[in-house]
Structures are given as C-alpha cells and as structure tokens.
C-alpha cells in the first residue's frame, strides 16, 4: 500500500518536472494552466491508463495546447507546438511514448490547430 503511494508520488513529480523542464509549461502560477485539482485529475487519468511518465506529460501538454488554441492563445500555442513535436519524435523513436498514443495526441493537436488556424 505505502509502496504504491510512494510510486504514485514519484510519478506525479516526474510528470510535473517534465512539463516544466522539457515542455517549458509552468504548472504553478500559470493562469492558462488547469487549477491543481483539475491537474491532479489529468494525472489520475494518465496513471489509471498506465501511461508512462513521458506519455503522461505528452498527454497533459497536448490538452494544454488544445486549451490554448480553443481559448484564443494562438501565440502561446504556436510556441509550444515545436517542443511537443520535438519531444514526440525523440520519445517515439526511443520507445518512451508509444506510437499508438502519439497518433491520438497528434490527432488532438491537428483538431486544435484547425480551430485556432495555426
């Protein structure tokens, strides 16, 4: 029981570090990022779907990108997109992100780009 909690706490922390450091998404003090409870729910979904830490970070970054597009923050979305693509190329090639999950994330990105016109 306690080992699972420790693993989960580590998972949450690693996902947060990846979002902040690899994607340059501020998860704290960012008015465009989900509030803490919504953020934790997203991590719950990733954990329960057995996503790796890299996949979880990509999942949340994709949702964040989509939210930026849908809410008219095209400049921020445009700045994030190359980071997502670079990380996806590396992650899929190294087996850190499954190709199947990347295809779903890429579809969401395409849809969001159409909405935002970017």
pLDDT in tens, 107-116: 999 999 988 7
As a whole number, the mean pLDDT across the chain is 92
The model's pLDDT over 38-49, given as tens digits with 9 standing for 90+, comes to: 999 999 999 999
Closest CA to 17 of 50, 43, 51: 43
Domain ranges of the chain: 2-116
For range 55-70, the mean pLDDT:
97
Written as six digits, the tokens of 117 are 């016109």
Return d(Cα 55, Cα 89) in angstroms, integer: 13
**Interval 81-110 mean pLDDT:** 96
Long-range CB contact pairs, 82-86, < 8 A, 24+: 83/22, 83/23, 83/24, 84/23, 84/58, 84/109
To which H or E segment does residue 26 belong? none
């Amino acid at each position: 029981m306690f080992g699972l909690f420790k693993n989960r706490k580590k998972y949450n922390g690693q996902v947060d570090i990846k979002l902040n450091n690899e994607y340059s998404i501020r998860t704290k003090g960012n008015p465009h990022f989900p509030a803490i409870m919504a953020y934790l729910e997203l991590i719950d979904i990733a954990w329960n779907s057995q996503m790796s830490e890299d996949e979880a970070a990509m999942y949340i970054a994709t949702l964040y990108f989509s939210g930026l597009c849908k809410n008219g923050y095209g400049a921020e979305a445009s700045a994030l997109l190359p980071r997502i693509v670079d990380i996806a190329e590396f992650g899929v090639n190294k087996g850190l992100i499954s190709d199947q999950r990347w295809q779903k994330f890429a579809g969401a990105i395409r849809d969001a780009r159409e909405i935002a016109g970017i």
